[in-house]
Structure formats: structure tokens, C-alpha cells
Amino acid sequence: MKRIQVIGIGAGDPEHLTLQAVRAIGATDVFFLLDKGEEKDDLAALRRTILAEHARQPHRVAVVPDPARDRTAATPAYAPAVDDWRRRRADAYERLVLDELAEGECGAFLVWGDPALYDSTLAALEEVHARGTADFTWAVVPGVSSVSALTARHRTTLNQVGRPVRITTGRRLAEEGLPDGPDDIVVMLDARQAFAALAGRGLHIYWGAYLGTPDEILLSGPLDTALAVRISQVREEARARKGWIMDTYLLRRPAGRQ
Ligand SMILES: C[S@@+](CC[C@H](N)C(=O)[O-])C[C@H]1O[C@@H](n2cnc3c(N)ncnc32)[C@H](O)[C@@H]1O
């Protein structure tokens, strides 16, 4: 039987790797890498470092181009666009399993952060398995997510005592506004800086970019206009300097206030 491990490698710091991840990497015959084009230098560099330190020698690396994704679609067209992209990604994974992994071998995907959070690897593998064209088993090794990295670096919690938390995207926050229920809202994948529209509403923001890396930036405080402008400026400067940015933030509403 062919085996696949989906290994969370943490959110940017090589020391985020768990002992379980190190062991899984050491047991891998072939690593499957998606070539994402953008951001590639820094992200690929972390993966190279991890392989140099923890993979057994020799090992194989199979690279496939990540299918292009239409991120411009307006919301009603967004779900079909994602479905189509997932299907094409599953096609690429299917080829990897069929062509690059021999019977009895172990392949691995090194997934940024935790594979359970805003990552399509598991959905794509499920789709490949459901097609029935390739016989394989798969397991997941959890990783330190950017959300864990964010709260740790700000020395805060994800939720207030006994209170709910929501994790959402910048796109949803911008379109739907602040949700009524949860007191704490984590926002990821925010290219629009949706926090800016929420200044002056009694929220506290904990913002982090390039968490766990030497370029890490942290800003926090009551979300007034001055802080919103400052985060936007810092974010824009960093993005211009590096050519890409990854940032996440937690919006905290003091418990009980709507
Ligand atoms: C496609 S999601 C992947 C999340 C990942 N699976 C995880 O567990 O963190 C990518 C988003 O995660 C967040 N992110 C990932 N790594 C980050 C980092 N080192 N610093 C800040 N945000 C990060 C950003 O919001 C980014 O847009």
C-alpha cells in the first residue's frame, strides 16, 4: 500500500516543527511540493532548511505547479471558482500519487502551519481517494498554526474565559461586517485590510505579519483610526519591500459588549 503523510510544518519558524513532524519527515521517501510561484523564495527556503535538517538521505522531491486560481471572482462566483481550482489541484495530486510514489513507499506534503486550517491539501486528497484511481492511505500530523503563533507572540489567549471565538477571512469580514456572536474574531487571508472599517468600535487588535520569521512584525492596541492607519502603512511598506505579505490578526471585543 502507498502511504501519504500530510505534515504541518508550522507558520515560519523552523522550531515550530513538532517531534512528531520530525519523525514523519525522517520516514518519508518522496516529498510532494507545490510550486506556488509568488512568495516562493522565503517559503521554499523554510522547506529546504527542514528537508536538509530532518529528511533522510537520499530522498526524492517531486514538484508540481500549483494550478492558477481565479481570486478576482466576486462572491457569488467565488465558490465555483474554488471548486474548479480544487478539482485541478486534485488532478495534480492524483498524478503525483500514481506516477511518483511506488508501492510500499511513503510520500509527504509539507503544509504551512496546520493542515486543518485554511488549507486545501486534505480536501484534495479526499477527492483523489474518492476517485478510486489510486490506492493509498493517509495520515495527518498537526502543526503550529499562524493563529497559535499570533496569540503566543502577543502573549494572549485566543478566547476570553468561557467565551466563543470565530476564525474567518478578510473577505467575509469586509462583506458581512463584525459578527454579533463571538467576542474574539481571528482574521486570515485579508488582502483588503478589513480591520480599517472597524476603527472606533471598542475593539482591541492584535496584528502580526511574517510570524515566526526574522521579518516578524507585531502591532497591538485599541483599534482607533490612528492604529488602523499605522497598521496599513506598516503592512504596505513591508509588502513593497518583500514583494509579498502574510498577516493575521485577532479582534477582541471585551466580553459581553455587542
Ligand atoms: C492559506 S492560509 C494557511 C494557514 C495555515 N494553514 C495555518 O495554519 O496558519 C494563509 C494565511 O495564513 C496566515 N498566515 C500564515 N502564516 C503566517 C505567518 N507566518 N504570519 C502571519 N500570518 C500567517 C495569513 O493570514 C495567510 O493569509
Question: What are 154-183's pLDDT values in tens digits?
Answer: 999 999 999 999 999 999 999 999 998 889
Q: What is the CA radius of gyration of the chain?
A: 20
Render pLDDT for 1-21 as a digit per residue (tens, 0 to 9). 999 999 999 999 999 999 999
pLDDT at 79 > cutoff 90: no
Interhelix angle for 121-131 vs 75-95, to 10°? 60
pLDDT at 207 > cutoff 80: yes
Ligand 1 centroid, distance to 181 Cα (angstroms)? 24
The three grid cell numbers given for residue 8, joined into one nine-digit string: 504541518
pLDDT at 199 > cutoff 70: yes
Domains of the chain from N-terminus onward: 2-144 (3.40.1010.10), 147-252 (3.30.950.10)
Nearest atom within ligand 1 for CA of residue 143? 8
Q: Which residues line ligand 1 (CB under 6 A)?
A: 11-12, 112-114, 117-119, 145-146, 188-189, 208-212, 246-248
With the most atoms of ligand 1 within 8 angstroms of its CB, the residue from 112, 141, 151 to mutate is: 112
Q: Which of 232, 142, 130 is nearest to 190 (CA)?
A: 232
Q: Residue 49: how many CB atoms within 10 A of its CB?
A: 11
Ligand 1 centroid, distance to 236 Cα (angstroms)? 17
Ligand 1 centroid, distance to 245 Cα (angstroms)? 10
Q: Residue 57: how many CB atoms within 10 A of its CB?
A: 6
Mean pLDDT, residues 126-142: 95
Pairing between β-strand 30-35 and β-strand 106-111 as defined by DSSP bridges: parallel
Amino acid identity of residue 182, one-letter, is: P
CA-CA distance, 179 to 121, in Å (whole number)? Answer: 28
Name the residue with the closest Cα to ligand 1, atom 27. Answer: 189
**Distances 51 to 5, 172, 246 between C-alpha atoms, Å:** 15, 36, 23
| Residues making up the chain, counted from first to last | 258
The per-residue pLDDT for 256 is 58
pLDDT at 95 > cutoff 70: yes
